[in-house]
Structure 1
Amino acid sequence: MLSFLPAPLIGLLAASLLALNALFWVPILLLVALLKLTLPFKALRSRLDPVLIRIAEAWISFNSGWMRLTQKTHWDVDGFEGLDPRGWYLVNANHQSWVDILVLQHLLTHRIPLLKFFLKQQLLWVPVMGLAWWALDFPFMRRHSEEALRKHPELRSKDQEATRKACQKFALIPTSVVNFSEGTRFTRVKHQLQQSPYRHLLKPKAGGIALALNVMGEKFRAILDVTIVYPDGTPSFWAFLCGRMHCVRVRVQTLPIPRHLVSGDYATDPVVREAFQQWMQQIWRNKDAQIGTLLGSGRS
């Protein structure tokens, strides 16, 4: 534990270890991914998918290692019993910070299959990381504003088709599909602009989770509803690297797949859309109440 060092020095050390870890594993990922591209038969290519996943899991494990070395964080977690690293899961979480991703990876890697996130198209061009996400078949989505969708409604069907293709890939090997239903990171400004009915959450968007269930509903073992709370305030990424995330509380609730909604067409059937939204809103009301309880349970 190096938490006795000054916070800026811890931050520089953690950032260096984060970067060096990525620079070590990404070239290995790319070599395997390029080899996969050159193979002529799908059956041969699919044999390299588990290799790519093991490389990614090793990368995440090393991240967890430097986190333990540089951070003095109290991890208050519950609900991880009975998870299966060989099953398919749909992970639904609230979203406050880029730190959420490292928290999810640290806690869920090896407990369930590799987490795969839907990423904005622009992130493909992030140095080093964009190539890594491409090699791991993370789906890159073009997210359009509501104004653009009103002017060009055909863009919505293109987004849905891209999501559908990504989910079809996920169905080939055990995968955990991560969905941040708020669609963006929570801030008080966004909360006020939305006039969100929830105290601690933005309004949930049901479209992404509906499409994932529609394509992969028969594969998913369960939905993991993950609630992440930072009792001392949401940390920036730099504050996290500096060791200023003193406590994080994470609760996981395993929910059944809503089989009566899996086969419905969310995009075109208003009855299905209303049912999905009501189901999602109930989950969000429960999550909002849970966040309030966790924030009120004292500092650690």
Structure 2
Amino acid sequence: MLAFLPAPLRGLVSLVLLAINVVLHAAIIVSVGLIKFLLPLPAVRRLIDPLMNRFAESWIACNNVWIALAGRVNWRVTGDDTLRYAGWYLVESNHQSWVDIFVLQKVLNRRIPFLKFFLKQQLIFVPVIGLAWWALDFPFMRRHSEAYMKKNPHKRGEDQATTRRACQKFSLVPTSVMNFLEGTRFTAAKHAKQQSPFQHLLKPKAGGIALAMNAMGEQFQSLLDITIHYPQGVPSFWGFLCGKLPEVVVLIDEVPIPRELTQGDYSGDPVFRAKVQDWVQALWQKKDATLAALHAGSGARR
């Protein structure tokens, strides 16, 4: 524990440890990934992908060390007792902060197959780590504005094609496919701009999860519906580095994926699209009610 150090110094130590961890593990992962890139054969991928996932899990485990050193976090996790390391999972969660990613990785690392996130295209240019995400086959999505799409309708299929290619790779070895359905981090300003009907969530986007279910639906064991709540308020990333995360609540609900939602054309069939959206809306209504209860409980304890 580094509790004896002033918070800014703890943050600096955490940042240095994080940077060293990124450089060391990314160098290994990218080096191995180049072999896979130069020999794009399914047999090579089946051999190399599990090895790369092990390196990635080691990366997360080392992150968990500096997180524990930075501060004492009360991890209140429920629903993780039935998780299985073998197999495939579809995972979704609410999204409030960059800290969410570290929380998900901490709670799920080596409990389920390594998490593969859908990322914004711009993140591939993040120094060092962007190449590691590329080597690990994280799908990079282009998320154009609606105005851009109207001017360039031929671009509408890009993200769908990216998702299908990624899921074809994921189908070769056990993988957990992670998607933040809100598409961005929750803020009061975004919530107001969207006029979201939910109290604690932005509107969910069902397209990505629909494509993943269509590509790999029969392989997914289930959907892990995860709700993250910070009782003392959403931490900033710097605050997290400084050890200012006293408590986090993580609720994991394992939900069966309806078979009928794995077989259909989301973009071309409005009836099928409505069914997927209704299912996602039901998940979101339940999650919003859960978050409302958690916020009420946090307020009562303060």
Common fold: TM-score over 0.5: yes
Counterpart in 1 of 2:207?
Answer: 207
1:41 Cα deviation from its structure 2 partner: 4.7
CA distance in 1, matches of 2:202, 2:111: 28
Counterpart in 2 of 1:153?
Answer: 153
Match of 1:233, SS? coil
Counterpart in 1 of 2:12?
Answer: 12
Q: Deviations over 1:180-223 (max 9, x none)?
A: 00011000000001111111000111111111101100100000
Q: Deviations over 1:101-122 (max 9, x none)?
A: 0000000010000000011111
Structure 1 residues 67-146: aligned runs within 5 Å: 67-146=67-146
1:257 Cα deviation from its structure 2 partner: 0.7
Sequence identity, in percent?
A: 57
Match of 1:296, SS? helix
- Report whether the alignment pairs 1:66 with 2:63: no
> If the length of structure 1 is used for normalisation, what is the TM-score?
0.97
1:151 Cα deviation from its structure 2 partner: 2.2
CA distance in 2, matches of 1:135, 1:118: 14
CA distance in 1, matches of 2:177, 2:41: 26
Contact 1:93 1:228 in 2 (8 A): yes
Match of 1:56, SS? helix
Counterpart in 2 of 1:286?
Answer: 286
Structure 2, unaligned runs of 5 or more: none
CA distance in 1, matches of 2:187, 2:67: 25
> If the length of structure 2 is used for normalisation, what is the TM-score?
0.96
CA distance in 1, matches of 2:58, 2:270: 44
How many residue pairs match? The answer is 300
Match of 1:48, SS? helix
Match of 1:169, SS? helix
- Report whether the alignment pairs 1:191 with 2:191: yes
CA distance in 2, matches of 1:64, 1:204: 30
Q: Would the alpha carbon gap of residues 172 and 41 (structure 1) be closer, same or farther in structure 2, given more than 3 Å must change?
A: closer
CA distance in 1, matches of 2:223, 2:45: 29
CA distance in 2, matches of 1:158, 1:44: 27
Match of 2:35, SS? helix
Q: Deviations over 1:72-107 (max 9, x none)?
A: 111111000111111100001000011000000000
Counterpart in 1 of 2:175?
Answer: 175
CA distance in 1, matches of 2:167, 2:10: 39
Structure 1, unaligned runs of 5 or more: none
Match of 1:89, SS? strand
CA distance in 2, matches of 1:36, 1:214: 26
CA distance in 2, matches of 1:68, 1:37: 36
Match of 1:204, SS? coil
CA distance in 2, matches of 1:183, 1:247: 25
Counterpart in 1 of 2:295?
Answer: 295
Counterpart in 1 of 2:230?
Answer: 230
After TM superposition, where is structure 1 displaced by more than 6 Å over at least 4 residues in a row? none
1:46 Cα deviation from its structure 2 partner: 2.7
Contact 1:94 1:226 in 2 (8 A): yes
Which shows bigger deviation, 28-37 or 256-265? 28-37
Contact 1:79 1:252 in 2 (8 A): yes
Counterpart in 1 of 2:31?
Answer: 31
CA distance in 1, matches of 2:258, 2:188: 32
Could you tell me which amino acid in structure 1 is paired with residue 111 of structure 2?
Answer: R
Could you tell me which amino acid in structure 2 is paired with residue 215 of structure 1?
Answer: A
CA distance in 2, matches of 1:91, 1:203: 17
1:155 Cα deviation from its structure 2 partner: 1.1
Could you tell me which amino acid in structure 2 is paired with residue 255 of structure 1?
Answer: V
Q: Would the alpha carbon gap of residues 51 and 79 (structure 1) be closer, same or farther in structure 2, given more than 3 Å must change?
A: same
Q: Deviations over 1:219-272 (max 9, x none)?
A: 000000000011111111001111111111110000001111110111011111
1:278 Cα deviation from its structure 2 partner: 1.1
* CA-atom RMSD in angstroms: 1.3
CA distance in 1, matches of 2:84, 2:122: 33
Could you tell me which amino acid in structure 2 is paired with residue 147 of structure 1?
Answer: A
1:39 Cα deviation from its structure 2 partner: 3.8
Could you tell me which amino acid in structure 2 is paired with residue 144 of structure 1?
Answer: H
Q: Deviations over 1:150-182 (max 9, x none)?
A: 222221112211111111111111000001000
